[in-house]
Structure 1
């Protein structure tokens, strides 16, 4: 055996004996060596043993009762047993040294510091953004005069309201439902947010736990995406918003941007959608239901909820109220007396169908005009953009009852009688009307057409049809106001005599012809007649001459002061026939000024318009006196004759619903029967009705109305007067009489017996005229039109053919504007 092998054999055995000796606590003798071993190998072994012994001596002195041999065996190099023992103990020692409690605690604090640092960086880097467009978008809300909703315009059913318009108790229902610590927290719920982040990471989706501030931030500044990035931004922005804004601001934003179901965004729309009332009128129990809805709007909507859904929303409702009691916001006794407020059934949001669109369009036009005039908008385009952005609450002066009655009157007296399949002309019939309170100037009703979605243009405000003979009272008003005289030097009054023959040349103050000789309807001659009779019969030749006697400049000036828009119109004799454009709304305003004893009435459709940051100031509809009371009252007195003994007597005077009501008014029928009018009034209500011929297949071309509705000719005393009577007498609360300061006209008892020299034998009086039927049959053919070479304009109204008298002493012929004739 070689030396190396011997050393290898002895080494392990010596180390094993050493371990046994340590266990026994004693010493062992050195191993015996073979005596025959000699030579270099033996010497080497002995030398090694000597070195080992020396080492053992040193170690033994330090370690106590350990033998030199034992230590020598333990430290011998190359031992497999020692390697195995070391390898079995090393991993456990390293783990213990690596995961000590001090290191774990240090790591935790390090991670916390790292997280805090990262959050500080995020806080500095993430700004509070602008509110997103969807959260700010609102509808415009239009209301009747009584506050009930007329229509909404806009893509989003939202109307933002200030928090002070929401009862305090209702405000607290949302806090009790969503975030009881809202008034004291810093805007975030760390625990809930951490849970939300974990749920997002694990794919569990949306979870609760957010504060009201966080939900407001999500609604107003962010999106509904469920991502870690969005959640972190929500956390940072919520902290900043809570520092920068008041709790009231945040709560207002939350209840105004939340979605409540039924297409309702914001508490105002929800209050209307579920309880048909404004948010300011909500009760605490109703607010608790709306607050409960936010957890699951579709599931908790009482109208469509399943039995389980109804049970859940009731539980949620009770939870909200119990929390309010717990917070000291609601008296326990009051809470116990509350019953669940069952919401009303869903109702379709008012659209633009029917008359709503016309009213909204007209209200927007009035608002745009006022925004520019008061300097809120730079121009019309700027004003239009302001309205289109939404958020306006616009209250109209429209009276809901009167509006419904006007619509009913048009339907029953006109549209129900139209049959385009039977008569092609019936497809061209358009109606428009406007009704004004003369004492306040409020537009209380308006009819714009058959349906806004079918006929876009508003017939009540359009200015492209001629008012025809409804202009004649303005000529008389100018005559009385200016103290005008005839060519003979006689003051123009209701009793003044004029030549009523057709095509009589009009002359100036020097007796010179002015080149205007208008025909009466059907070329009828009346001879000498009073102004009162000329008004009753709507005789063109009389008022053409009267206009020149007064001075056309004065006539146009007075017409403008009364309310007609005559910009660009020439002051020529042809205007006496009403050849300028006008609308029913405009004519209602003119006649309202007459009814108001000469004080200017500017029809006001809009009562108020408010935006969150803007309140529009509208001028007073009642202005100063533009003509004297005597002039206005004289015209009113004369116009009572048109109703009692003129072209409107059948439709108005003889209407059984009149019940003795005093009425003044004037009919009008334009050339070629393109339009027909009746503008009439009582002491408390003025209404103008127009019927227009319009061919929509030819881009709205004006067309005749002959034969429409089954009548031979549509005149002012027919459909327009019938609509007027059905409406006015339908909304009349009491019978009234005019308070007039004049001694002229059909409404006034004459102060002397007229003679044959200055009046016709049929003198106007306050007595009710006889209700005789016309002595002639209606015409069987369509009346001829005015010769083109004669400038006549529209408003050619006169008696029927074949009834022309030879002298004024004979009974005057009937006028074609009377529905008993020509219909």
Structure 2
């Protein structure tokens, strides 16, 4: 029994020894597993990081593009007319040197005080962020450095995921190794969002303080830096207390960094910001500048500058618009339209004859509305100059005598003059001054190709060959135009009429009408510069000089002689509203050697009558002439008084019977915008009022009791069923 007990005790001791011997082994196994897990936790991410680091390509600083504003300036390259703002943000790129050091330091104090020394991320900050993610403690703090914020905004996006955060980390480290710190800071300052639809420190400086970043004070720079954390919430107009608290944090940080003395800090006052209501980041243009912008954008496309260029390269676009001429134009229009009916509208285009540069442009005062300067309108008697130019080119001199009595056309249509006058035979020069319809119908009949020669001359001098909705101008369904072309039956635009007269004023040499002088990127690269060149001769110098000579008396005859005794060549015109005896279009076109200006006045819908300031019929010698004179007087004030060349003699058949032009379509500005309510549709703007097939005698014109100036205007006729010739209708 005793032996069994001893044996049992021995077995138990042996088991205990065996068990004790296994414990260290188990501990070692657990330790090895834990070590393996720990190594895997370190090595696997490290391996992934190494692979990603080798795989990811960080673009060069100049290769990263951000949406930014392009600016359109007047010819002085300083006066901003409009902006091209991408939907993705209002941003203006600036060099780091343009940002004051105190503004840079304020941003670092707010967002990344270890920026100059960290490796692209903050180890302590990153650790806090990880703890916060694992514990759900949002107060643990963030870990994004300036480099990480920039990478997120420009390269990896801001979706919430660990994969995105890992990519951000890899890019940040690699960017720190491949970019200079200065490049990273500059890129960040140009892309960071600061509220008020402002992206980048320059745009924000204008949004909050209405000044460039280079002029920001320490206090102002600290406020912009404070806003970065919560751009909309910390806008002082939304949360003044929160904004000031964060502002104090930034300034205190600058003191801790040694970038601001405690004494300076003590005396600083929270800065005032501009009212957000007075600033709109997406206001691209106001008034007629919106129409200038449309013309500029269309022209940029013609010279190969893309929409991407306009929205990513911060273009500085210098136009041809002369501030003095533009101001004179706007003042003239405002003064004259103020005394007219509520729906009165105007168009004015001034072009420099020697270059084709558009020096002033007014198409309406609604930036997104109907552009009357680029709309097809009936031109009335102003079109007589093209028939006369064709006649001069074919050797018919200004001294040629033409009958001014009524003239009969096929279909028993009788053409009279605007006042039913009949002066018998007069020179064609006198007929132009008095705007005799009858004389010009007869003159056109003497041209080799009659009405076609009038059309060809107009195209040669600069009238567009097509309009939006009108594939071919100055033609009757693709065929030869009707007799009424010389009286302004067909549509042309103010910009066409100014271009054509500029060609004549330049001695018959045409230059391309253009709005853009120079295009430069934000980093100084010149993308485009307009070259004037020698131009193209479109009509002989002899013909141009004679035509100008015939037009010289007309401004004075219309009580619109220019100041300082300046010589001008001009022509008035009106287009009648159907058979009502009232007018719907009134024109004055005229040029000096320095400037060609075309003026139109009518109504918003172009299908109702336009009246002068006395309530009577509007003629070209009324508001259009007043606008024309005031524009040129203001634009040319202080400039040398120049004369046109004296005309050489044209004897019958002695002028060259040839047009010097390349039949390439003349410059065509962009399609005008869809009109707003009560403004003309293309059909309404292009079709004359219908009349009976057998026209009745024109109604008697009632002369208003108030006096009106003498009017050297042309008449009008119906030369085919349903086609009314402007100015005056009679039967």
Asked if Structure 1 and Structure 2 have the same fold, meaning a TM-score greater than 0.5 normalized by the shorter chain, the answer is: yes
The aligned counterpart of 1:273 is: 207
Asked if the contact 2:499/2:513 (under 8 Å) is kept, the reply is yes
Which among 517, 527, 535 is matched to residue 624 of structure 1? Answer: 535
> What do the CA deviations read for 1:392-414 (whole angstroms, capped 9, x no partner)?
55443334554455344333322
Deviations for 1:571-600, whole angstroms, at most 9, x for unmatched residues? Answer: 655432233321111211222233334442
Say whether 1:473 aligns with 2:385: yes
1:358 is aligned to 2:358: no
Structure 1 counterpart of 2:360? 445
Structure 1: distance between partners of 2:359 and 2:337: 21
Tell me the alpha carbon deviations over residues 198-220 of structure 1, each in whole angstroms, 9 at most, x when there is no partner. 22333343834422221111112
Q: CA deviation at 1:299?
A: 6.1
Q: What's the CA shift string for 1:217-273, capped at 9, x where partnerless? A: 111234445554443332123234445656555444322321022210123422432
Q: Does 1:114 align with 2:45?
A: no
Structure 2: which 5+ residue stretches go unaligned? 467-471, 578-582, 650-704
In the superposition, relative to structure 1, how do residues 686 and 180 fare at CA in structure 2: closer, same or farther (>3 Å)?
farther
The equivalences for 1:645-724 within 5 A come to 645=557, 648-649=558-559, 652-653=560-561, 658=563, 660-672=565-577, 673-693=583-603, 695=605, 703-705=607-609, 707=611, 711-724=615-628
The residue that corresponds to 2:436 in the other structure is 539
Aligned match of 2:329: 406
From 205, 212, 215, the counterpart of 2:146: 212
Please identify, of 334-343 and 405-414, the stretch whose mean Cα deviation from structure 2 is larger: 334-343
Alignment of 1:509-528 (within 5 A): 518-528=415-425
Q: How does 1:390-789 map to 2 (within 5 A)?
A: 393-400=316-323, 402-414=325-337, 417-419=340-342, 426=343, 429-453=344-368, 456-462=369-375, 464-480=376-392, 482=393, 484-485=395-396, 492-493=397-398, 495-503=399-407, 518-549=415-446, 551=448, 552=450, 555-566=454-465, 568=472, 569-570=474-475, 573-610=483-520, 616-617=527-528, 619-621=530-532, 623-624=534-535, 626=537, 627-645=539-557, 648-649=558-559, 652-653=560-561, 658=563, 660-672=565-577, 673-693=583-603, 695=605, 703-705=607-609, 707=611, 711-734=615-638, 736-742=640-646, 786-789=717-720
User: 1:348–1:342: structure 2 CA closer, same or farther, 3 Å change rule?
Assistant: closer
- State the distance in 2 between where 1:170 and 1:598 align: 60
Residue-by-residue CA offset, 1:769-799 (whole Å, 9 max, x unaligned): xxxxx999899xxx9963455998634469x
- Separation in 2, partners of 1:323, 1:78: 72
Q: CA 1:611–1:778 in structure 2 vs 1: closer, same or farther (change >3 Å)?
A: closer
Structure 1 residues 635 and 171: alpha-carbon distance in aligned structure 2, compared to 1, 3 A threshold = farther
State the Cα deviation string for residues 35-70 of structure 1 (Å, max 9, x = none): xxxxxxxxx45x679x79xxxxxxxxxxxxxxxxxx
Pairing of 1:29-68 with structure 2 (within 5 A): 44-45=1-2
For the pair shown, the structure with the greater C-alpha radius of gyration is 1
The whole-number CA distance in structure 1 between the counterparts of 2:256 and 2:498 is 58
Task: Could you tell me which runs of 5 or more consecutive residues in structure 1 were left unpaired when the two chains were aligned.
Answer: 1-43, 53-73, 377-382, 420-425, 486-491, 506-512, 696-701, 746-773, 802-823
Number of positions where the alignment pairs a residue of Structure 1 with one of Structure 2: 640
Q: Is the 8 A contact 1:216 1:253 kept in 2?
A: yes
Is 1:370 the counterpart of 2:299? The answer is no
Corresponding residue SS for 1:417:
coil
Give the CA deviation at 1:277: 5.1
TM-score (norm 2): 0.71
Deviation at 1:564, TM superposition (A): 1.5
Is the CA contact 1:518–1:791 (under 8 Å) kept in the aligned structure 2? no
| Contact 1:518/1:792 (<8 A) preserved | no
| Cα distance, 1:674–1:212 mapped onto 2, change above 3 Å | same
- The answer to whether the 8 Å contact 1:175/1:212 transfers is no
CA distance in 1, matches of 2:630, 2:126: 67
Please give the alpha-carbon distance, in whole angstroms, between the structure 2 residues aligned to 1:407 and 1:642.
24
- After superposition, residues 105-254 of structure 1 pair within 5 angstroms as 107=34, 111-112=38-39, 114-121=41-48, 124=51, 136-145=66-75, 146-148=78-80, 150-159=82-91, 161=93, 163=95, 166=98, 169=101, 172-173=104-105, 176-177=108-109, 178-179=111-112, 182=115, 185-205=118-138, 207-225=141-159, 227-243=161-177, 247=181, 250-254=184-188
Partners of 1:109 and 1:579 lie apart in 2 by 93
**Deviation at 1:740?**
2.1
Contact 2:316/2:522 (8 A) holds in 1: no
Q: Tell me the secondary structure at the aligned position of residue 552 of structure 2.
A: helix
Looking at structure 2, the residues matched to 598 and 784 of structure 1 have their Cα atoms a distance apart, in angstroms, of 28
- Residues 1:528 and 1:797: Cα distance change in structure 2 (over 3 Å): farther
Does residue 794 (structure 1) correspond to residue 725 (structure 2)? The answer is: yes
**Greater relative contact order, per chain length (Cα 8 Å cut-off, separation 6+):** 2
When normalised by structure 1's length, the TM-score is 0.64
Q: Distance in 2 between matches of 1:78 and 1:287?
A: 82
- 8 A contact 1:519–1:796 mirrored in 2: no
**Does structure 2 conserve the Cα–Cα contact (< 8 Å) formed by 1:406 and 1:445?**
yes
Residue by residue over 1:659-680, the C-alpha shift from the partner in whole angstroms, topping out at 9 and shown as x without a partner, is: 6554432111124333221112
Q: Which whole-Å CA distance do the structure 2 matches of 1:285 and 1:478 have between them?
A: 70
Structure 1 stretch 304-313 or stretch 662-671: which is displaced more? 304-313
Looking at structure 2, the residues matched to 332 and 483 of structure 1 have their Cα atoms a distance apart, in angstroms, of 88
CA gap 1:345/1:142 in 2 versus in 1, 3 angstroms:
farther
Q: Distance in 2 between matches of 1:794 and 1:333?
A: 82
Alignment partner of 2:300: what SS?
helix
8 Å contact from structure 2 (residues 351, 498) kept in 1: yes
In 1, are the aligned partners of 2:585 and 2:610 still within 8 Å (CA)? no
The 1:292/1:590 distance shift into structure 2, 3 A limit, reads: farther
